Structure 1
Amino acid sequence: MSVDDGVRRLRSEADEPGWEVDPDDDWGVAVVATVGRQLKLRREAVGMRAAQFGEAVGYGEDLVYKIEAGRRIPRPEYLDRADEVLGAGGLLSAMKEDVKRVRYPKKVRDLAAMEAKAAEIGVYECNTVPGLLQTPEHARALIEAAQPPYSPDDIERMVAARLARQSVFDRDPSPSINFVLEEAALHREVGGTMTWRQQLERLQKAGRLRHVTLQVMPTKSDAHPGLDGRIELLKFADGTAVGRADGVFSGRPVSDAKQLRILELWFSTIRAQALPPRESLALVEQLLGET
């Protein structure tokens, strides 16, 4: 917020790119509509007009109306300031967690929800380091490389969504997580030397966790079923499972037993061809020493 000649400039829609509600995200639409309705009811209950409220929280009147109508996602600091101005006693601030999840793309949110419940996670990544293992700087560099480019706000939103999935490492009890990544990906210094060194350190740390198995597929290995792209398998405590692969079933998630058997065969074949965990970790440490 800037101050010019004693006049505070209020945030407008132009200052808030990337905070629109996805109309195809039913849950997100419902959450933002509920939050907006609560904000409006609280404001009207204290007899404050939208313009007055906007001045108090640092937002333009038009943007206040759009947030209250459920057409814009409120920032966390907006909810904190609204809670203070309207004397809500923490009730508005408490909505930040739901609102934060709405900002994540629906497909990422759905994937994170499944990963959060899985007892076993298997991931093969063909071209990059798996998202669950990426550092913030590495993730940002990959997303910034997209063409056409994303807006700065969208980049931050996507980085945050990717990092939020990594809470799976903090679960208790911990899931069993098996990663296989191509050696070629370990030689691509995404984001520059320092960023890449931090990424290698992240892989080294993850590879030493008791519930994580990290394997590297040597560049000189023969062809294998994962060359078409990414594979992910999630198995749950109740015996059910879901998986997807870029090279089969149109890349869609599947849970049919016959289709899952194909993905399990692919993943087990890839793991058998990759370096054992001890040798894989030694390779990562060797590259780290050379960086």
Structure 2
Amino acid sequence: MTEIKGTGGDSGDVARPQLDEDLSEVSDFLRAVGKQIKLLRERAGLTQKEFAKQVGYTESLIGAVEQGKRTPQRELLEAAERILDAGGLLLVIADDIEQAKAKARVRHPEWFRGYAGLEGIAEELHCVSLYGVPGLLQTEDHARAVFSMRQPILPEEVIETRVAARMARQEILTKWPRAVFSWVIDESVLRRPLGGWGVHEAQLRHLLKIGSTRGMVIQVLASDRTEHAGVDGPFILITPKNRPQMAYIEVQTSSRLITDQEEVRIMNARYGTLRAQACTPQESLSLIEKILGER
């Protein structure tokens, strides 16, 4: 069993040491992009409020983008290109931002790189999530909301880099041949609207999409269940290519990668029991739709 002190696992959402990488390149680039958008907007004679309405985003988001505190998505840049008559400038920037995100893929903090390396070559990954949406299933806005509510608070450039790194991890969901994925998620996670209802609604719809994808199974552990095999806490079972299955657990500022096969066997049995106690995959998707309809 390997213990990694002060680390983070699938979610990486508990209090952590700051990233030790130099983030100035990414943050300076985002600020430069924001200044260009602001200059084009002002040249077009639009206020932030007017511009936000035309591109279909909130005024506060536009302000954050212009200050370099938020990464502008391609959809925003494409709309701004058309409205501001930018002559192709913002379309080029969209490609540059994708390249910047690619650089962020290697910006996992040192304490997380070991697990991230295993995750990237996983042939199977099974996760029990009791407190939050698993990192691999989070939308970008949900991830940003989670990192933004960290205590102590994180600098904006650290938030953006961590969000980009988390989104990059999700590429394993689209690799082919596809690994075998399954998640057991507590119902309370689906009912906690982190980031506000708009962010949460998009997150629930994303879970519906993932749960309807061949080779990916989401099961909800309903709150009315009278038995719960996961009361000892969340965990991940991961099988890297050409390596035996391992287990991963985390709590507060500590996490452990468990390689002892007897311990892994026990956690595997526990996972099987949890899946039996949870709703079926189809029942789980129906429950998510029900929660969406309750709003």
TM-score, shorter chain, exceeding 0.5? yes
Matched, 1:215 2:215: no
Residue 139 of structure 1 corresponds to 143
Q: Deviations over 1:129-174 (max 9, x none)?
A: 1111111111111121221111111111221222111111111100
| Worse overlay, 230-239 or 138-147 | 230-239
* Unaligned residue ranges in structure 2 (runs of 5+): 1-17, 30-98
Identify which of 261, 266, 272 aligns with 2:270.
Answer: 266
RMSD over equivalenced CA pairs, Å: 2.7
Residue 169 to residue 127, structure 1, CA distance change in 2 (3 Å)? same
Q: Is the 8 A contact 2:230 2:270 kept in 1?
A: yes
Residue 221 to residue 187, structure 1, CA distance change in 2 (3 Å)? same
Q: How do residues 92-111 of structure 1 correspond to structure 2 at under 5 angstroms?
A: 99-111=103-115
TM-score normalised by L of structure 1: 0.64
- Structure of larger gyration radius: 1
* Unaligned residue ranges in structure 1 (runs of 5+): 1-19, 23-27, 29-70, 79-94
Q: Deviations over 1:34-65 (max 9, x none)?
A: xxxxxxxxxxxxxxxxxxxxxxxxxxxxxxxx
Distance 2:106 2:120 in 1: 17
Q: CA deviation at 1:256?
A: 1.6
Q: Is the 8 A contact 1:190 1:196 kept in 2?
A: yes
Residue 276 of structure 1 corresponds to 280
Residue 11 of structure 1 corresponds to none
Q: CA deviation at 1:288?
A: 2.0
Q: Is the 8 A contact 1:121 1:235 kept in 2?
A: yes
Matched AA of 1:166: Q
Distance 1:163 1:287 in 2: 25
Residue 142 to residue 77, structure 1, CA distance change in 2 (3 Å)? closer
Q: Deviations over 1:222-256 (max 9, x none)?
A: 34332343210111343512212347xx7410112
TM-score normalised by L of structure 2: 0.63
The structure whose RCO (Cα within 8 Å, separation 6+) is larger is 2
Matched AA of 1:204: L
Matched, 1:241 2:256: no
Residue 144 to residue 194, structure 1, CA distance change in 2 (3 Å)? same
> Identity over the aligned pairs, expressed in percent?
34
Residue 129 of structure 1 corresponds to 133
Matched AA of 1:226: G
Q: CA deviation at 1:75?
A: 3.8
Residue 210 of structure 2 corresponds to 206
Distance 2:269 2:110 in 1: 29
